[in-house]
Amino acid sequence: MTFSLNLQDTLDQIAHEADALYGQGKVASYIPALAQVAPRQFGMAVAMTDGTCVKTGSADTAFSIQSISKLFTFVLALKLVGDDLWKRLGREPSGAAFNSMVQLESEKGIPRNPFINAGALVVTDILTTRYAHLDIALLGALRRLSDAPELNWDAQTAKSERDTAHRNMAMAYFMKSYGNFVNPPELVLDNYCRQCAIEMSCTQLTQATMFLANNGQDIDRLAHAGEQFLSADAARRVNALLLTCGAYDAAGDLAYRIGLPVKTGVGGGIVAIVPGVGTVAVWGPELDAKGNSVLGVFALERLVQLTGWNHL
């Protein structure tokens, strides 16, 4: 209990310090629905493997998880097809923007990793083949992991994203020309935009990703035990990919500054994994030039400095 109180003080201190950073980034504007989000918001939650959850600010405010959804679809695909996944995807950092098409031609339609847009589209294509209603399957998994049966995706955000998904559609057809796309790109894009439009809070994200901090085992907040959602070895490998590829072309910088596996999203959310300890989720809609939350990156770096939760 003493530790939890100290952690509460730490989160409140970080939230206070983060106030000085408002205005240093900009809300994502290339998706019209995201451009309407009020910029001066910040939330942070930490969930421990013992079931404790500590939070500050707008930690219970739901936001569009956007590319954080790529983590969950990747895990579902890994559970479904195993190592066959790597016949269609790479495992290397891209060093390019999340929506870049540059590498696809030289690498014959094989995306560098599952967390850039091209890679996430291939993952969604794999899941579209398996699930007649991928949105229902994904929401079902997230509701179970987060203990939040009310989770859903926002129709307005999904439509806004789908209406402006020209580059993603181009990537899908380009990969189809190399034989690395099975389903109609239009159908896959519908599923992709719905998954990106799922809304979750920081608190819910910490619970939903707990299996990655707990050797693949989910933790039910009431029973303090849950299903073996992923093998311990697979969870370790997912965390390795998050460390090297989870933050777009800023993955190296965040690994240097934070030293934890992370997945970021242009909705302003970031989820971080502290293996054996717990999970962290932060949200601040204002983004830096790489598409990552300004306040979120700062908060995670400060948390590591103040707690020593850096396993590198």
Tell whether 143 is covered by a domain: yes
Choosing from 196, 211, 229, the residue where a domain stops is 196
**Looking at residues 176-186, what average pLDDT do you find?**
97
Average pLDDT along the chain: 94
Q: Which amino acid is at 103?
A: Q
Partnered with residue 44 across adjacent β-strands are 56, 282
Partnered with residue 271 across adjacent β-strands are 263, 281
Choosing from 181, 196, 211, the residue where a domain stops is 196
The 10s digit of each residue's pLDDT in 149-158 is 999 999 999 9
The pLDDT of residue 59 is above 50: yes
Residues 183 and 72 reside in one and the same domain: yes
Tell whether 111 is covered by a domain: yes
Tell whether 312 is covered by a domain: no
Q: How many CA atoms lie within 13 A of 35 on its CB side?
A: 6
Residues 39 and 127 reside in one and the same domain: no
Sheet holding 63-64, edge to edge: 63-64, 198-200, 152-153
- For residue 309, what are the CA distances in angstroms to 45, 49, 303? 15, 14, 8
Q: How many CA atoms lie within 13 A of 246 on its CB side?
A: 27
Model pLDDT, residue 222: 55
Model pLDDT, residue 30: 87
Q: How confident is the model at residue 96 (pLDDT cuts 50, 70, 90)?
A: confident
Chain-centre distance of CA 218, in angstroms? Answer: 17
Q: Which domain holds residue 214?
A: 2-65+198-307
Choosing from 180, 196, 212, the residue where a domain stops is 196
Residues 187 and 73 reside in one and the same domain: yes
The pLDDT of residue 312 is above 80: no
- Residue 234 tokens read as 């697979």
The pLDDT of residue 244 is above 90: yes
Residues 182 and 242 reside in one and the same domain: no
Lowest-confidence segment of 1-5, 163-167, 204-208 by average pLDDT: 1-5
Q: Which residues are identified as catalytic?
A: 67, 70, 192, 248, 266
Residues 57 and 81 reside in one and the same domain: no
The pLDDT of residue 3 is above 90: no
The pLDDT of residue 236 is above 60: yes
Q: How many domains does the chain have?
A: 2
Could you please report the per-residue DSSP string of 110-153? --S-TTSHHHHHHHHHHHHHH-TTHHHHHHHHHHHHHT-TT-EE
Model pLDDT, residue 225: 60
Residues 11 and 160 reside in one and the same domain: no
Residues 242 and 288 reside in one and the same domain: yes
**Looking at residues 274-291, what average pLDDT do you find?**
96
Give the Cα separation of 98 and 86 in Å (integer): 19
Cα diameter, the chain: 59
Model pLDDT, residue 220: 73
Residues 61 and 73 reside in one and the same domain: no
Domain with 213 in it: what CATH number? 3.40.710.10
Model pLDDT, residue 295: 98
Residues 36 and 133 reside in one and the same domain: no
Contact 210, 175 (CB under 8 A): no
Residues 249 and 266 reside in one and the same domain: yes
Residues 261 and 205 reside in one and the same domain: yes
Model pLDDT, residue 223: 54
Residues 9 and 83 reside in one and the same domain: no
